[in-house]
């Protein structure tokens, strides 16, 4: 087996007395779609925040391609190739869709100072190139007609896809999707599943996905981890997880 892309080792996060994430370990392999399931408040989003450097962990470590990245600031983690979307959409509302994706290209959009100051042909060609790249991503997510529109004016489902386009622009090897299907209608949910697969093929990346919609996860994910009260209670293929007594207990309770 190849070295894991991302490995969590006993990762913990405490807020005062509350253990939001307790001693969670798992590894995501290259090319894998890895799902995180769990009831509300199980610590899934907190886990994303720990991985992406938004919240510092209280214990344990995060490894990226074998080297530790625990405690790095979030912009450094993003530059390493870990992109994320947000559960409650955090787009740049006053910028156009195209500009939102251009922000995602930040890592690669550095231009030499003098041409940038002069705005000469060299600068404009490079800028056009970047815009074409951004447009291609918008096209991929069926957002091209709205390229010049402000992100805040988009419909909900379109905003969710714009977040994915922006995340892809950072050139990730691992994409963290936080409830990408929340608020989508059944048809959009179906399309999302196909979209995530095609993104994996096209960009050759791994996906770590949080989602409540269990049928979607069972169909989409190669492997799943289930969290409850901050602890990992199950790990395995969808079929293994479906039969796991601890999962059934967490979701349905025990019979007395």
Partner 1 sequence: MDAGLLQQMLLGALLGLSVYLPLRCGQLSLASPGFYAIGGTIAALLSTRLPALGGASATYPISSVLLEMGLAAALTGAIAAAIGSVVLRLRGIYLAIATIALVEILRVITLNLAITGGALGIFGIPQPFNGPEGYAFFTAALLALVCWLCDRLERTRPGLAMAAIRDDELAAASQGIDTAQIKLLAFVLSAVVAGITGVVAAHFLNSWNAKLGNFDASITTLAFVVLGGSRTWLGPVLGGLLLTALPEVLRPVGDLRLIVFGLVILLGPLLFPQGLISPERLQSLGRLWPGPKRLGRQAP
- Kindly state whether residue 170 participates in binding partner 1, applying the rule CB under 8 A: yes
Cα separation of 58 and 64, whole Å?
Answer: 18
Taking the least distance from each CB to partner 1, the nearer of 10 and 112 is 112
Q: Which is nearer to partner 1, 182 or 214 (CB)?
A: 182
Q: Which of 78, 143, 174, 233 binds partner 1 (CB under 8 A)?
A: 78
Member of 72, 116, 218, 248 binding partner 1 (CB under 8 A): 116
Instruction: Label the pairing between strands 231-236 and 223-228.
Output: antiparallel
The least CB distance from residue 132 to partner 1, in Å, is 14
Q: How far apart are CA 50 and CA 40, in angstroms?
A: 18
In sequence order, the 6+-apart residues with CB closer than 8 A to the CB of 117 are none
Which is closer to partner 1, CB of 44 or CB of 166? 166
Quote the least distance from Cβ 211 to partner 1, whole Å. Answer: 19
Q: Shortest approach of partner 1 to residue 88 CB, angstroms? A: 11
Sheet with 59-64, strands from edge to edge, namely 18-28, 6-15, 59-64, 67-68
Instruction: Give the residue, chosen from 10, 119, 145, 215, that forms a contact with partner 1 under the rule CB under 8 A.
Output: 119
**Which is nearer to partner 1, 111 or 198 (by Cβ)?**
111
Please report whether residue 211 would count as binding partner 1 according to CB under 8 A: no
Least distance from partner 1 to the Cβ atom of residue 119, Å = 6
Interface segment toward partner 1; rule CB under 8 A; list 7-15, 30-38, 98-106, 233-241: 98-106
Burial string for 38-60 (b: 16+ CB within 10 Å, else e) reads beeebbbbbbbbbbbbebebeeb
| Using rule CB under 8 A, residue 238 touches partner 1 | no
Q: Does 54 bind partner 1 (CB under 8 A)?
A: yes
205 binds partner 1 (CB under 8 A): no
Considering the rule CB under 8 A, would residue 135 count as an interface residue with partner 1? no
Neighbours of 222 (CB within 10 A): 16
Give the residue with the Cβ less far from partner 1, 89 or 247.
89
CB 241 to partner 1: min, Å = 29
Strands 82-84 and 231-236, how do they pair? Answer: unpaired
**Cα angle: 214, vertex 219, 223; to 5 degrees:** 85
What is the contact surface with partner 1 in residues (CB under 8 A)? 52, 54, 73-75, 78-79, 83-84, 86, 90-96, 99, 102-104, 106-107, 109-111, 116-117, 119, 148, 166, 169-170
């Amino acid at each position: 087996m190849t070295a894991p892309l991302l490995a969590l080792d006993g990762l913990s996060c405490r807020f005062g007395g509350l253990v939001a994430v307790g001693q969670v370990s798992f590894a995501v392999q290259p090319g894998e779609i890895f799902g995180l399931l769990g009831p509300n408040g199980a610590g899934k989003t907190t886990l994303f925040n720990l991985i992406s450097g938004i919240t510092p962990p209280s214990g344990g470590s995060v490894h990226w391609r074998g080297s530790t990245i625990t405690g790095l600031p979030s912009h450094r983690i993003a530059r390493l190739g870990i992109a994320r979307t947000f559960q409650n959409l955090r787009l740049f509302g006053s910028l156009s869709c195209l500009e939102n994706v251009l922000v995602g290209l930040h890592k690669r959009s550095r231009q030499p100072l003098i041409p940038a100051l002069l705005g000469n042909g060299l600068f404009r060609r490079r800028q056009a190139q970047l815009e074409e790249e951004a447009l291609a991503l918008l096209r991929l997510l069926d957002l091209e007609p709205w390229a010049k529109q402000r992100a805040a004016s988009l419909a909900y489902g379109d905003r969710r896809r714009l977040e994915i386009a922006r995340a892809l622009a950072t050139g990730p090897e691992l994409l963290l999707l936080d409830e990408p299907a929340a608020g989508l209608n059944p048809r959009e949910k179906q399309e999302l599943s196909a979209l995530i697969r095609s993104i994996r093929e096209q960009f050759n990346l791994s996906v770590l996905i949080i989602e409540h919609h269990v049928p979607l996860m069972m169909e989409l994910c190669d492997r799943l981890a289930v969290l409850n009260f901050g602890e990992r209670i199950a790990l395995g293929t969808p079929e293994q997880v479906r039969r796991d007594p601890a999962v059934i207990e967490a979701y349905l309770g025990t019979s007395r």
